[in-house]
Amino acid sequence: MHLPQNGIINISGKCLKLIKIPFTLGKTIPFALGKNSVYLNYSTAILLYLSRKYNTPDHWYPSDIQKRAQVDEYLSWHHANIRANAPKTMWIKVLIPLFTGQPLPSEKLQEVMEGLSTSLKQFEERFLQDKAFIIGSEISLADLVAIVELMQPVGVGCDIFEDRPRLMEWRRRVEDAVGKELFFQAHEMILSVKELSNIQIDPQLKEQLAPVLMKMLK
């Protein structure tokens, strides 16, 4: 998410406020690589860096060049498809009404859901097919990147897994591979995002973030 000025959103009790931090030119939260003042700006690059630095099990980002290419292909496709559609459900149903004080027309949600349905169809037919996971029999970073986006509609009451048995079975396999406790711990904030509708908002944050959120839907 791109940020207003120098800050991140902090949830403290029942209040949202802005905390000042340094950030990159692209207004993304930086990730420092050691002590050399080298920063990464984007989540996919950070994941790949961590998988190499900490010598994670090979299935996450395989050393086999063909399997790795499959992960890379999904990650390249993901940003303009799943990521471009799934998070917007959260903006439309919770965050934009929270910061603007007004709900968006139902037609806007329908438009986003139609785009997401198209992406999900492509995801199932092109990437998942009849495999257990995106690149085959083992979970990879591609599955992690996909699931975290697809849980966002679930968090606001849009169960995209319902009536999609192949997608539902894939989700269950991801849960089992990660571990159910860790899976739901990682998605705890996403799955409780509707509770934000009852919290107080720092006026400065409300003023700065409302136009940013509106631009995200254009």
What domains can you pick out in the chain, each with its CATH number?
A: 62-216 (1.20.1050.10)
- Measured over the CA atoms of residue 195, residue 199, residue 204 and residue 210, the dihedral's sign is positive
d(CA 212, CA 27) in angstroms, rounded, equals 12
d(CA 78, CA 166) in angstroms, rounded, equals 18
* pTM for the whole structure: 0.79
d(CA 139, CA 172) in angstroms, rounded, equals 12
Here the tokens at position 132 are 């257990």
Q: Tell me, what's the pLDDT at 207? A: 75
Q: Tell me, what's the pLDDT at 4? A: 43
Q: Tell me, what's the pLDDT at 218? A: 62
d(CA 153, CA 72) in angstroms, rounded, equals 25
Q: Tell me, what's the pLDDT at 107? A: 86
Q: What is the mean pLDDT of each run of 10 residues along the chain (218 residues)?
A: 42 44 46 64 83 90 96 95 91 82 81 93 96 97 96 92 96 97 91 76 74 68
d(CA 125, CA 16) in angstroms, rounded, equals 40
SS3 42: coil
User: Torsion angle of alpha carbons 5, 6, 8, 11, nearest 10°?
Assistant: -90
